[in-house]
Chain A
Amino acid sequence: MKNFEPEIVAFCCHYCAYTAADMAGSKRLSYPPNVKIIRVPCTGKVDALHMMRAFEKGADGVYVAGCLEGDCHFKNGNTRAGQRVAYVQKILEDLGIEPQRLEMIMMSAGMGERFARTAFEFTEKIRELGPCPVKPIKK
């Protein structure tokens, strides 16, 4: 467990979190390499199935990073994503998997520091939780 390096998938909205990640890069802010970013046109595009599949494929933690409340480029994709995250958290809980492994996070495109900090904090949280009890069976 000491050497446990969590695998984290971050679904990042093109209009905010992904740009914030870019901003973090421009500012030379580092963030843990554990976080694997998947760019999406809007977090409203992230379906419950995508989150579930990420866990199926071996993610220890997943977060969906969308625009600040009221700032969605497509009006309300971020709030709908938040509702889907809550829905999947309930499924995880029913399966005996810590729902904290999945989170909805909001930020703006200019929040490079927040992106880097979130990546650190989420990685640390998952590190403390330990490996996800679900791991793909190696064939």
Chain B
Amino acid sequence: MITAEQKPLEEILAYIEPYDRIFLVGCNECVTVCAAGGRKEVGLLASALRLNSMKQGKTIEIKEITLERQCDPEYVEELASEINRTDAVLSMACGCGVQTLAGRYKEMPVFPAVNTLFMGASESQGIWSERCRGCGDCLLGITGGICPVARCSKSLFNGPCGGTCSGKCEISPEVDCAWCLIWERLKALGMEKRYEELMEAKDWRPSGGGGPRKIVRKDLVL
């Protein structure tokens, strides 16, 4: 999933300071799962914004809504009937959702309430870790299901660097050395030979080096 974290309250308050009627829009997908911008977080942020305005003796009108998916035009359309009754939109979705809203409602200022972080997996309740960088050419089939692009601090392709120490990365004792994990996994699978095969320099164009990426599925396009 795409993970995110709420922005500092101070930054959010600065965005909406000039406005009296705010549309606070959450998303039911990734940001709900990582507890950054789902219905509950929308309620909590709305409450904090109301408390802030009451503290200043002002009234603020906050309309809360959580869309099924904020990066999909058909769900974003749900705001059309009410959008004119607000002054600004505060989105709690990832950057994709914020941009979908801003693209659809061009006259309306749209602000992000979260920082979009990474594509991650849940390790346990409340802990998410980066697992994929969307490099466009998945290597997991030859690295024992552990990604050196996302999990090696240097995104190395042919074994660890000199900074590896007892299975940990030199950047922090909390961070596993991806190449140690890969080696252990290949060993467990009896696929040590894979480790010996040198990988060529990676073509980074599919990972964004060739400009913004796009998928066009002609069989699906209407």
Are the CB atoms of A95 and B52 closer together than 8 Å? Answer: yes
Task: With CB as the reference atom, state the residue of chain B lying closest to A47.
Answer: B40
**A105: CB under 8 A from chain B?**
no
Are the CB atoms of A56 and B44 closer together than 8 Å? Answer: no
Q: Which of A47, A95, A133, A137 contacts B48 (CB 8 A)?
A: A95
| 18 sample A-B contacts, Cβ–Cβ < 8 Å, listed by A number | A49-B44, A52-B47, A52-B48, A53-B47, A56-B47, A56-B50, A56-B54, A91-B48, A94-B10, A94-B48, A95-B9, A95-B51, A97-B55, A133-B55, A134-B54, A135-B54, A137-B54, A137-B59
Known: A52-B44, A56-B47. 10 other contacts (CB 8 A): A49-B40, A52-B48, A52-B51, A55-B51, A94-B10, A96-B55, A97-B55, A134-B54, A135-B54, A137-B54
**B210: CB under 8 A from chain A?**
no
**B167: CB under 8 A from chain A?**
no
User: Interface size of A by Cβ–Cβ distance < 8 Å?
Assistant: 17
Q: Which of A47, A91, A136 contacts B54 (CB 8 A)?
A: A136
A residues near B48, Cβ cutoff 8 Å? 52, 91, 94-95
Interface residues as binary, A92-118 with B (CB distance below 8 Å gives 1, 0 otherwise): 001111000000000000000000000
Restricting to B15-52, which residues have a CB under 8 Å from any CB of A?
Answer: 40, 43-44, 47-48, 50-52
- Interface magnitude class on chain B: 10 to 19
**B211: CB under 8 A from chain A?**
no
A137 to B51 Cα, complex, angstroms: 11
**B190: CB under 8 A from chain A?**
no
Task: With CB as the reference atom, state the residue of chain A lying closest to B12.
Answer: A94
Per DSSP, chain B at the interface is: helix
Please judge, given known A-B contacts A94-B8, A95-B9, whether A49 and B43 are in contact too, CB under 8 Å. Answer: yes
**A48: CB under 8 A from chain B?**
yes
Q: Which of B9, B40, B59 contacts A91 (CB 8 A)?
A: B9
Task: With CB as the reference atom, state the residue of chain B lying closest to A83.
Answer: B126
3 closest Cβ pairs, A-B complex: A52-B47, A94-B9, A134-B54
Min CB gap A88→B, angstroms: 9
Interface residues as binary, A20-64 with B (CB distance below 8 Å gives 1, 0 otherwise): 000000000000000000000000000111001101100000000
B residues near A55, Cβ cutoff 8 Å? 51
Restricting to B48-90, which residues have a CB under 8 Å from any CB of A?
Answer: 48, 50-52, 54-55, 57, 59
A136 to B9 Cα, complex, angstroms: 21
Are the CB atoms of B43 and A95 closer together than 8 Å? Answer: no
Interface residues as binary, A69-103 with B (CB distance below 8 Å gives 1, 0 otherwise): 00000000000000000000001001111000000
Interface residues as binary, A113-139 with B (CB distance below 8 Å gives 1, 0 otherwise): 000000000000000000001111100
B residues near A91, Cβ cutoff 8 Å? 9, 44, 48
